Structure 1
């Protein structure tokens, strides 16, 4: 077994780790909603993660062409927008439900780019599982849930764009900045673009978050757990896994989010939701075989 095929085989376990990191950070963020605006929490997550990655990777040492720069900038705009929409949705929806609805984005990407019957069946199972999870919580109804649904559908579109652009960023041509270096620039661009929306909530009010060391420490935890670690892992997986398989592997996230919701937020799933999680797990199992050689392309066609 080659190193790449071993990596792809272990990808489901890697995604469990990534999802756990991401939704522990989201659980911490939900606890901050009564202390600062959700949009500022989402923005600070991106801004702090950008500082961390830029200092670690020092992307200014690499040669940036117009193409690599605009690719990273577009990725950053989509990534930051997706995160802000997701956090605004969390003001109105439980964590597990929000993640499940957002999964419409990866399902759409997988349906459009998948090739084999196992992958198609896996996408269908994942979609059924997500619908089962979502159907329970949307029975809550009301304008509040509808607003949350609107935000999370916007985040789902952003997630689809994140996958497609992320694949390009993760597979550079020889001599171009690496995926992680591009990710650091992307986050910096995203932080700058959305600063007019997120920054005011950090510096205004009787007790501005920027002046609270304890709150800043919690925001650092959110940034590292929800951005630095999972998005770094995404870049590694996207380099080796085809886009369709990456989309199906993301279906582990609803299960992870529900488990984190139970432990951190007391959001206990129903029997229907558990059955949905089983369907999602079956989808992941269907994609655990080695990828055909023709899908293991490192550099996509331009």
Structure 2
């Protein structure tokens, strides 16, 4: 593989992760009336864990106790991030929840910035996110519990990036499989208590399986590939494209219409992401930025 192609591959993996995650999240939200946020979260994490275990079969490869502890911590954060985000979008708009959650990786990007130009891109991303907020005086008051859940999800997302780096030396697929299994041990019991036997309805379970594929199994595997080749500051700021992709997914799947300010937000966020990639030195590997 050529050097230029090897450099581009992690960014392509991250973009693929963002698209599948946003499509899956939009579809998942449409299932809330049938299984509730906790139930759909249980589908997402539980089925994803089963799929990843079958694909990667991590039990066939030894892992040290120290690395296993790191993977378990990574998985716990994944589970809490999924659950709190789904609890948030029960009562606040999807695009706004993504914008609030993005504060986590944005803080990681700021903490690891080394060049002045990166603060310019971060500022542009913040401007784009601000345009997504309902600043009109007549806007509907946001549910405090939903905002609180989104803020917790933001903290979990920041920890996800940092802990993902700590297990970056391990095989990506097997790490995600073990991490998602840990997440399932946390989220699935909560979903079962909330939704009960209704979760075992064949048609609903099939829809839950689709959510798991789009929202967890595929994007998290791609993100683990991306995390091993993208510096922290670039990873955090490039994720700013997610509110934009989420808005487009909401338009296509949930019928959410975009206004002019939202299109301006998309332009600002995409520009920040592209600018970050173009101004990040190729030699700035993830190792030198590890905490």
Bin of the TM-score, shorter chain as denominator length: over 0.9
Corresponding pairs, count:
291
Residues in 2 aligned to 1:301 and 1:154: alpha-carbon distance in whole angstroms: 23
Residues in 1 aligned to 2:237 and 2:123: alpha-carbon distance in whole angstroms: 10
Residues in 1 aligned to 2:75 and 2:278: alpha-carbon distance in whole angstroms: 32
**1:267 to 2:256 alignment:** yes
Q: Once the two structures are superposed, what CA deviation does each residue of 1:61-81 show, in whole Å capped at 9, x if it has no partner?
A: 111211111111000110110
CA spacing shift, 1:66–1:163, aligned 2, 3 Å: same
2:274 — aligned with what?
A: 285
1:194 — aligned with what?
A: 187
Superposition CA RMSD, Å: 2.2
> Does the CA contact (< 8 Å) of 2:10 and 2:227 recur in 1?
no
Residue 159 (structure 1) aligned to one of 149, 153, 157: 157
Residues in 2 aligned to 1:58 and 1:159: alpha-carbon distance in whole angstroms: 26
Q: Once the two structures are superposed, what CA deviation does each residue of 1:152-174 show, in whole Å capped at 9, x if it has no partner?
A: 111111111111111222x21xx
CA drift at 1:296 = 1.7
1:84 — aligned with what?
A: 83
Spell out the pairing of 1:72-221 with structure 2 (5 A cutoff): 72-136=71-135, 140-142=139-141, 145-169=143-167, 171-172=168-169, 177-204=170-197, 208-210=198-200, 212-221=201-210
Residues in 1 aligned to 2:13 and 2:100: alpha-carbon distance in whole angstroms: 22
CA spacing shift, 1:241–1:214, aligned 2, 3 Å: same
Q: Once the two structures are superposed, what CA deviation does each residue of 1:9-68 show, in whole Å capped at 9, x if it has no partner?
A: 365554443222112111211111111120121122111101100111010111121111
CA drift at 1:284 = 1.0
Residues in 1 aligned to 2:161 and 2:232: alpha-carbon distance in whole angstroms: 7
Unaligned runs of 5+ in 1: none
CA spacing shift, 1:237–1:68, aligned 2, 3 Å: same
> Does the CA contact (< 8 Å) of 1:12 and 1:284 recur in 2?
no
CA drift at 1:299 = 8.2
**1:222 to 2:211 alignment:** yes
- TM normalised by structure 2 equals 0.92
- TM normalised by structure 1 equals 0.89
> Does the CA contact (< 8 Å) of 2:232 and 2:286 recur in 1?
no
Unaligned runs of 5+ in 2: none
- The secondary structure found in structure 1 opposite 2:35 is coil
Residues in 1 aligned to 2:137 and 2:130: alpha-carbon distance in whole angstroms: 10
CA spacing shift, 1:134–1:140, aligned 2, 3 Å: same
> Does the CA contact (< 8 Å) of 1:16 and 1:256 recur in 2?
no
